[in-house]
Amino acid sequence: MPQLVESIRTFFEGLGTLPSWQRIVASMDPVAWALILLLGGAVVVGLFFSLTTRRSFLQPDEIEATPQMLLARLKQDPTRLPPVAIVSRLGSDATLELLEYGDQIRTNEWRYKWSTVREELLTILSAQNAFGPTYALARYYRSADRQEPDTLRIRRTALIHKLSQLRYVEPDASGHAAELRIRAHPAEVEGDLGFEGETLWLLPDEPAPAATGPLVELELIEFRTLQDADVRINIRRSPTVGGGFRLTMHKRHGMWVVTDEQIEWVS
């Protein structure tokens, strides 16, 4: 202990032998002064850029890291990011919100941008087997209620998949409203599919009245297994314009999602 005290005393006594600031300044030559000025300038410049660039670069990162801020920007322009990046950054729930929002806008400019983005978003979500994306799709298709008959959920899913959540086809040039016709098995439960227009349920061989306007047709559901089904949907916007599609659906976590789509005819 005495040795430690003596060492400390010797150290502080040695400080008194150091040259004063006045002697140090007086002994400095022009080269030393130049080095001091360069060092000081470097410190000032470093502090300035550290503060200014930190603020300017963090702002965009913070915006993109916030799903709600990114979602707000995508609602203005859905092509701002590739669909894969949208799902990755937003997650299932916010992507669902974007899908629901996008389907409500009817302006031509928006629909031109939205149609491709929507199709790719649905494809990306349907390719994931996790519960979150599946549940988001089921809510988008308005078919998340597992107590509802499978046939109704499959048909509603097909309608929304091809016509968006609006389930609407514009009237023809003469103003005739669109009609939905459903070919159903006699034992199939009829229900509300949310189509905006008249809905007619028909037996497989029942004659159908002549169409007076745009026509949407849902054919018989073909169950390959209890978990896999195909359904055809034909959309005739006019006698010369339309298309037929075959949708393949798979049941995941008790909910139906579209896993494949084939174009069977187009005119």
Question: Can you list the positions of beta strands (E) in the chain?
Answer: 179-183, 198-202, 215-218, 222-223, 228-238, 241-252, 255-266
Beta bridge partners of 232: 246
How far does CA 116 lie from the centroid of its chain?
13
Distance CA 183, CA 232 (A): 10
267 residues of the chain, pLDDT tens digit each: 566 556 666 655 555 555 666 666 666 667 666 777 777 777 777 777 666 554 444 444 444 568 889 999 999 999 999 999 999 999 999 999 999 999 999 999 999 999 999 999 999 999 999 999 999 999 999 999 999 999 999 999 999 999 999 999 999 999 999 999 999 999 999 999 999 999 999 999 999 999 999 999 999 999 999 999 999 999 999 989 999 999 999 999 999 999 999 999 998
Q: What is the pLDDT of residue 34?
A: 72
Q: What is the pLDDT of residue 226?
A: 95
Q: Which is nearest to 160 in space by CA: 215, 104, 106?
A: 104
Give the chain's length: 267
Determine how many CB atoms are found less than 10 A away from the CB of residue 8: 10
How would you classify the pairing of strands 222-223 and 215-218? unpaired
In order, the DSSP letters of 13-81 are HHHTTSPPHHHHHHH--HHHHHHHHHHHHHHHHHHHHHHHHHHHHHHHHHHHH-HHHHHHHHHH-TTSS
Q: What residue has token string 């499959």?
A: 154
Local structure of residue 105 (DSSP, 8 states): -
Q: What is the pLDDT of residue 10?
A: 64
CA atoms within 13 Å, Cβ hemisphere of 179: 15
